[in-house]
Amino acid sequence: MNNDFKNELNKIYKLTGIKLRIENEDEIDLTDLKKLSTAYKEKYSSANLLLNILSGFYPYKEQVNAIKALGIKPETKMRLYLIYVPTKVDDSIAKIITSLYPGKSSEYLCITDSTHICFLYLGEDNIAPPLIDVIETEGMTGAYIAYSDMFTDLSLLTKEYSELSQALTISRIFYSDKKIIGPGDLGSGELIYNIPKSVCEKFLKNHIGEAIDDDTMQLVNTFIRHNMSIAETARYMHMHRNTLVYRIEQIEKKYGIDIKTFQGANIFNTAILITNFLKVKNDE
């Protein structure tokens, strides 16, 4: 038998454990054998296995086998990272990540759709900050990352992926300025996201009465972010203290809420979050 055929059959045997025989070389194309081994490699690569596990593609028994096929030792500590790139995810983003974490770690990385890439990092460290830095500097694109708590049970992968997907969605609605979203970072946004639309609309009607304009949203958000300090807010907004006090008084007159009090600020902050949520819901 031709050596090229022998070598290709040996590759297939090493990959699959299946021994193939060729009776007549004239009836077989060497290119087809090479395609067979390449297709098998792609199907059972760590990236493809991970993608199918995350998406819940496999039935239960196949899921268990796929997890074993990843070759990750039991009790290995790991975190799952889901990266959102608004422009587009391509192989260049994947290469940037694998260059930062070469070796075994780089095997557990898959593109889940045109704007998301998932990375299963074997280790205890939170690598979100260096990940986003290298993607934005070398990839020259904006990015957002949601990451999981540390875990050791690979059967949790599908659940962790689903939660990270929702975390990125919630963050884009309520905290668009946040680049990194960790466990427990979603605050009241997570609660509002799961409240029926009709309940949200009723809250706004009872407490606000009318739509909140963008300038008011910006002022109130800044005021709350600076611990309801007139001086700090005025300094940050490059505004005279008296002008800020006047605008806060106008907000109280217009909406009937004193944002200088903890209760008033809390109600208004919730109303802003709900307003942003309803804008997205109404656009769907």
Quick one: 256 and 178 in the same domain?
A: no
115 pLDDT above the threshold of 90 = yes
The domain spanning residue 102 has which CATH number?
Answer: 3.30.70.270
- What is the pLDDT, as a whole number, of residue 148? 96
* Lowest-confidence pick of 44-48, 132-136, 235-239: 44-48
Residue 257 lies in a domain: yes
- What is the pLDDT, as a whole number, of residue 7? 67
Residue 180 lies in a domain: yes
Q: Quote the domain boundaries for residue 24.
A: 3-43
Quick one: 182 and 203 in the same domain?
A: no
- What is the pLDDT, as a whole number, of residue 6? 67
237 pLDDT above the threshold of 60 = yes
Quick one: 266 and 247 in the same domain?
A: yes
Residue 67 lies in a domain: no
* Total domains, the chain: 3
- What is the pLDDT, as a whole number, of residue 164? 97
Quick one: 175 and 80 in the same domain?
A: yes
Average pLDDT, the chain: 87
30 pLDDT above the threshold of 80 = no
For the residues 115-143, what does the mean pLDDT come to? 93
Residue 64 lies in a domain: no
Domain termination site, one of 186, 216, 251 = 186
For the residues 47-60, what does the mean pLDDT come to? 90
Quick one: 142 and 205 in the same domain?
A: no
Residue 200 lies in a domain: yes
The domain spanning residue 254 has which CATH number?
Answer: 1.10.10.2840
Quick one: 105 and 9 in the same domain?
A: no
Position with higher pLDDT, 24 vs 233: 233
Q: pLDDT confidence of 102, banded at 50, 70, 90?
A: confident
Residue 159 lies in a domain: yes
Q: Look up the pTM and report it.
A: 0.78
Domain termination site, one of 186, 213, 247 = 186
Quick one: 177 and 203 in the same domain?
A: no
Residue 246 lies in a domain: yes
233 pLDDT above the threshold of 70 = yes
2 pLDDT above the threshold of 70 = no
Q: pLDDT confidence of 221, banded at 50, 70, 90?
A: very high
15 pLDDT above the threshold of 50 = no
Query: In this predicted model, what pLDDT tens digit does every residue of 187-208 receive, in sequence order?
Result: 889 999 999 999 999 999 999 9
**DSSP structure string for the chain:** --HHHHHHHHHHHHHHS-----S-GGG--HHHHHHHHHHHHHHTSHHHHHHHHHTT-S-HHHHHHHHHHTTPPTT--EEEEEEE-SS---HHHHHHHHHHS-GGGGGSEEEEETTEEEEEEESSS--HHHHHHHHHHHS-S--EEEEPPPB--GGGHHHHHHHHHHHHHHHHHH-TT-SEE-TT--HHHHHHHTS-HHHHHHHHHHHT-SPPPHHHHHHHHHHHHTTT-HHHHHHHTT--HHHHHHHHHHHHHHHS--TTSHHHHHHHHHHHHHHHHHHHHHH-
Residue 22 lies in a domain: yes
Quick one: 95 and 155 in the same domain?
A: yes
Quick one: 101 and 182 in the same domain?
A: yes
Q: pLDDT confidence of 43, banded at 50, 70, 90?
A: low
